[in-house]
Amino acid sequence: MHISELNIYPVKSLKGISLTHSELLPTGLAWDRRWMLVDTQQRFVTQRQRPALATVEVALTTDALVLSHPHVEPLSIPLAEPNGNLRIVQVWNDHCKAWPESSDVSSWLEAALGEQGSGLSLVRFATQFKRPVETAFLNGDDADTLFADGYPFLIASTGSLNALNRALEESGCQAIPMNRFRPSIVVETDKPWAEDGWQALQASNGAFELILRKPCKRCKITTVDQQTAQIPEPAEPLKTLIGLNTQPELKGAYFGQNATLHTGAGSIIRVGDTLVAEARGA
């Protein structure tokens, strides 16, 4: 069993970046969800409200975050922390400290996306601030995250995507790519839903260990085509996931597992790394 994909999403709800390797940090892969878009009330904004965000490309250079869109020239945002006063911003029920980026970003988003880009500003997580992960699933451990929905890592498997796509096609729907689920780590497996039975994943050389904490309940972002921002089948894949009932004790649509880093902070994780799974209850 090995890692087939690594992805980061430097700006929450914009396009992701596929990597061959990344540094493992307690808060996630390096640079993952470091930035977030907020409205005038300083509350987070995602593709749930504005699907067009999916059309904004993101890149990282040695000194800049670069945003790109076909309608405008690219915009570079220095990686050096901005000057200015910290803001309090909200992601779900958490209030976090963040640095505001230049108002040029707001103008750029409106020029690129029109109405769906209006009234937005970009903020950067203030890393001296800690955002704890919910304690209910940590079994006495502690963990922090940045602007991810709730956990530092999201792990998915190819076996589960293949099973979902078979079910979609059997009902006359189109198969979907993994990027609909925006995972950070994708594991190559043959067995569908194997990740739901894993307690932990360890690098075969012992360099790191991830603990799988909680099934990931999915939302309507999974209905958004991550290339075009169109919603080809508004009920899917959520309807099919509910029908598959992969989490019989829970209500809703589930795909993938939320995870935290147990050991290996600062180590490098790579596509192709061999993994060893520890089963739940082992």
Residue 154's nearest CA partner among 24, 47, 259 is 259
Q: Which residues share a beta bridge with 186?
A: 5, 156
CA end-to-end distance (rounded Å), the chain: 18
The model's pTM is: 0.95
Tens-digit pLDDT string for the chain (282 aa)? 999 999 999 999 999 999 999 999 999 999 999 999 999 999 999 999 999 999 999 999 999 999 999 999 999 999 998 877 899 999 999 999 999 999 999 999 999 999 999 999 999 999 899 999 999 999 999 999 999 999 999 999 999 999 999 999 999 999 999 999 999 999 999 999 999 999 999 999 999 999 999 999 999 999 999 999 999 999 999 999 999 999 999 999 999 999 999 999 999 999 999 999 999 876
Half-sphere exposure for 142 (CA within 13 Å, toward CB): 4
DSSP 223: G
Give the C-alpha distances (Å, rounded to integers) separating 127 from 78, 123, 195: 16, 12, 30
Using CB atoms within 10 Å of the CB of residue 61, give its burial: 0 to 12 exposed, 13 to 18 middle, 19+ buried.
exposed
DSSP codes, 251-266:
-S-EEEEEEEEEE-TT
